[in-house]
């Protein structure tokens, strides 16, 4: 079983930046991909970004493309989400998750390990 722990959330103003981290532990961490999702009260978990573990290639939701950047450090079993030009609508709890096999990286139900989430609040 893999444990994922996010950190780096906080309260910022619109236009500011945050960097989220997600550290994996428990066993060898070699997922097909690591994803970032976010959720606000009363809404379903929303795909934000993903990084393919082997290649480092990334993909993003349209709402964050050009502002967010996912990266990973395979030696540290850590995934990052750099969030720039934050907007109030980015306010949510952000989760990292591990996708064990291909494909459909935007489907939350296919991920088998999840972190506890970290709150990001962007004030206007």
- pLDDT tens digits, one per residue of 31-75: 999 999 999 999 999 999 999 999 999 999 999 999 999 999 999
Tell me what percent of the residues of the chain surpass a pLDDT of 70.
100
The DSSP element (H or E) to which 79 belongs, if any, is strand 78-83
- Residue 28 in this model has a pLDDT that exceeds 90: no
- Residue 21 in this model has a pLDDT that exceeds 90: yes
- What number of CA atoms fall less than 13 Å from residue 81's CA on the CB side? 34
Which phi and psi angles does 110 have, rounded to 5°? -90, -10
Radius of gyration of the chain measured on its C-alpha atoms:
13
Tell me the C-alpha to C-alpha distance, in Å, between residue 123 and each of 40, 45, 61, 90: 15, 21, 22, 10
Give the residue-averaged pLDDT of 2-15: 97
pLDDT band of 122, cuts 50, 70, 90: very high
User: What's the rounded Cα separation, in Å, for the pair 70 and 49?
Assistant: 7
pLDDT for position 26: 84
DSSP-based three-state secondary structure for 65 = strand
pLDDT band of 27, cuts 50, 70, 90: confident
Which phi and psi angles does 88 have, rounded to 5°? -55, -35
What stretches of 8-105 adopt beta strand conformation (E)?
10-13, 18-25, 33-39, 46-52, 58-60, 68-73, 78-83, 92-99
Q: Which two tokens stand for residue 34?
A: 């690591």
């Amino acid at each position: 079983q893999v444990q994922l722990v996010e950190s780096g959330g906080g309260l910022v103003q619109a236009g500011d930046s945050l960097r989220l981290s997600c550290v994996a532990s428990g066993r060898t961490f070699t997922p097909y991909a690591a994803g970032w999702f976010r959720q606000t009260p009363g809404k379903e978990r929303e795909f934000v970004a993903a990084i393919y573990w082997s290649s480092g290639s990334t993909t993003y939701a349209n709402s964050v493309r050009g502002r967010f950047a996912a990266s990973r450090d395979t030696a540290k079993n850590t995934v990052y989400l750099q969030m720039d030009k934050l907007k109030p609508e980015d306010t949510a709890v952000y989760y990292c998750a591990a996708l064990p096999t291909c494909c459909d990286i935007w489907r939350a139900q296919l991920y088998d390990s999840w972190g506890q989430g970290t709150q990001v609040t962007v004030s206007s």
